[in-house]
Structure 1
């Protein structure tokens, strides 16, 4: 899939940051329930489609998760590859997969940057709230255990929804996304993606508090997932998200604890006044733009790889633990991922159907380089390069590849994790 978050209008897409996802065939594990579209779910001012998944034999009083796709993705793509359907079967909860379309946005992006669509009671945000109300009634879900997650544009909308409806969502997960209400216009979107906004934690927190004036808590518990080599939604957004939600919770920006997880992931935990995790930030070393997945049959594994579904760690699994979806009772009884088993780190980079990897001998540093030959467009969508003003640049080395399109191709050699150089003259055999 190709995922372009800030290409927000067809006429101006070439001058905005590339952040999209183009669907590839999914290969989700067999699930016990059925993935279906709900034709009527109530008020729909945002013109969204509702899809849902519930495992067979789902009991009343179970949690509900809302999972938002990225630009040019569909609900089916996210159902297939994100791992949430697998976890719904394992732990027993329903999942709502909202879907936007090209009639709303030329690249089917959720409108996280438009205050007429991403604010309480308006547009797409109001449509998602209608879906939640419908699903809670349909499945008898626990209204105090409703959660929302999303990737990139879907993550930007996730942060907005947490701010808009803190009375609805008990927790959220912002994956390669942006702080709530970072941009309030299309023209400001790219600046949010790439630049430090130089706001204090209190100013960030005010953007949440002003989204639902008069609300005083309890606040949603927020997970933030970010790759250190993301050149689409820059890592500064994770810092800003941390500042925003720790301020909302009234806690400091120094973590209560940190630990290393699989896939080069560092988890930083920020506890509330009662010593329970309120905000968790997961930084994945060398990972580009996408959702962290880790296919396999292990306890801590889930998801399917593809462009922008990157094989590092199963973020959905650790998010589920953070929210307490593996537990019974209220969200306050939830466990922290710190006690969870970790899978064996994967040494294989995420691959794209467009790339042709060939391994080369291991250098003295012990890293085995891998080469990928593909059109510039597919190098970008696979997370090996990034786009600035319509030009593709190799991640790490920032070597110019030329126009970001399907007509120009290069071979990139990954000489160390997340660091790519041009190797058109050939890679080591």
Structure 2
């Protein structure tokens, strides 16, 4: 199993002299460059993953408050909570500029860790991003290893970083409870945190979005499908369609048929899997941005097409792109837009599992309108 986990988070990069910011630069089974771009150094995060981070030769400390923020428990409902509409800075009990653990935020059946980041320049009635790490990761690692924090500083939105507690820190994307609206599991815990933010922090309910990498990307699809009343959009970095994975949440060997690219369903079947998660729901579904590299060694590139099938069906779009652009947002990437633009697909020629690649996070934030 350990070897499977190692395989699951190996990143593939072009053969270049230096690794770009936040790329992999070491770890068990890694054979690429260990030299980072100028201004970055290779930091060991664990035995199987080292990453290029800014600064000295020790990990950049993740600022956290010494005492968790404890607040009254909010009882979740089946619909989006109404925000308080505060006139001043949101969440006054949350320190600005640090990663703060949040407790007593509501129903948490799987003991998910919830951490919040409020930038110093947070807007009134801000947007909210739910950011989800991959297998083996943590909220703290995703906070320091992706560019979403910097974008929050620039644009004034808040971020909730989730931290999975089970299955080798992989998110529950296969359990019946997690795949059902208010059924339980990890998705219920994350929804509780979002509802708490809406009720207590003056978050704009029209600007609640989710993103994630690998297992977190899979959970992004789950949250968008199971809680469309809360989530307005998702950015999926190297994931699979909701309901695709079948052999548990942690990586296995031989690879799960879904991960190996051997699961293909019709667009209607994929769309039905989403609709079955919240029976009776008649409201709009989130807009979705889907990213995948052609050289992903962990989750086969064919999964991008299955995700496109799922979300174009949900939005009643054709699976044929209305426009396709090359070199967007980087030279090796191409962008496909479907229907009226609520679904976008990004193909990274030669890119591996190490998404989001540096700088691509901004495309997701632009898509959300944050």
Task: Please tell me the TM-score bracket, short chain as reference.
Answer: 0.7 to 0.9
Q: Distance in 1 between matches of 2:151 and 2:62?
A: 12
**How does 1:198-277 map onto structure 2 within 5 Å?**
198-260=264-326, 261=328, 262-272=330-340, 277=341
Alignment size in residue pairs:
288
Deviations 1:12-50 (A, max 9, x none): 555689313746475479997211111321111021111
SS at match of 1:281: strand
- Alignment of 1:149 with 2:232, yes or no, is no
Deviations 1:133-187 (A, max 9, x none): 1222332101121100110111111111111001110000111001011135529
Retained in 2: the 8 A contact 1:119–1:211?
Answer: yes
Retained in 1: the 8 A contact 2:9–2:353?
Answer: no
SS at match of 1:224: strand
Provide closer, same or farther for how the CA distance between residues 15 and 100 of structure 1 changes in structure 2, counting only shifts above 3 A: closer
2:28 match: none
Q: Could you tell me which of 172, 176, 182 is aligned with 1:111?
A: 172
SS at match of 2:258: helix
Q: Distance in 2 between matches of 1:254 and 1:89?
A: 37
1:318 match: 363
SS at match of 1:267: strand
Retained in 2: the 8 A contact 1:114–1:183?
Answer: no
2:192 match: 130
SS at match of 1:52: strand
Provide closer, same or farther for how the CA distance between residues 166 and 95 of structure 1 changes in structure 2, counting only shifts above 3 A: same
**How does 1:6-405 map onto structure 2 within 5 Å?**
12=1, 14=3, 18-20=7-9, 22=46, 24=50, 26-27=53-54, 33-101=97-165, 104-105=166-167, 107-121=168-182, 122-186=184-248, 190-260=256-326, 261=328, 262-272=330-340, 277-294=341-358, 314-325=359-370
Q: Distance in 2 between matches of 1:115 and 1:184?
A: 11
Q: Distance in 1 between matches of 2:313 and 2:61?
A: 40
Retained in 1: the 8 A contact 2:121–2:153?
Answer: no
Shift of the alpha carbon at 1:285? Answer: 0.7
Shift of the alpha carbon at 1:51? Answer: 0.6
1:363 match: none
Shift of the alpha carbon at 1:291? Answer: 1.1
Shift of the alpha carbon at 1:56? Answer: 1.3
Q: Distance in 2 between matches of 1:85 and 1:16?
A: 26
Q: Distance in 2 between matches of 1:15 and 1:91?
A: 38
Q: Which moved more, 1:187-196 or 1:212-221?
A: 187-196
Deviations 1:368-389 (A, max 9, x none): xxxxxxxxxxxxxxxxxxxxxx
Over the aligned positions, Cα root-mean-square deviation in angstroms equals: 2.3
Deviations 1:378-413 (A, max 9, x none): xxxxxxxxxxxxxxxxxxxxxxxxxxxxxxxxxxxx
Q: Distance in 2 between matches of 1:139 and 1:324?
A: 19
Q: Distance in 2 between matches of 1:15 and 1:74?
A: 18
SS at match of 1:286: coil
SS at match of 2:123: coil
1:400 match: none
Identify unmatched segments of 5+ residues in structure 1.
1-11, 295-313, 326-429
Q: Distance in 2 between matches of 1:131 and 1:56?
A: 21
2:13 match: none
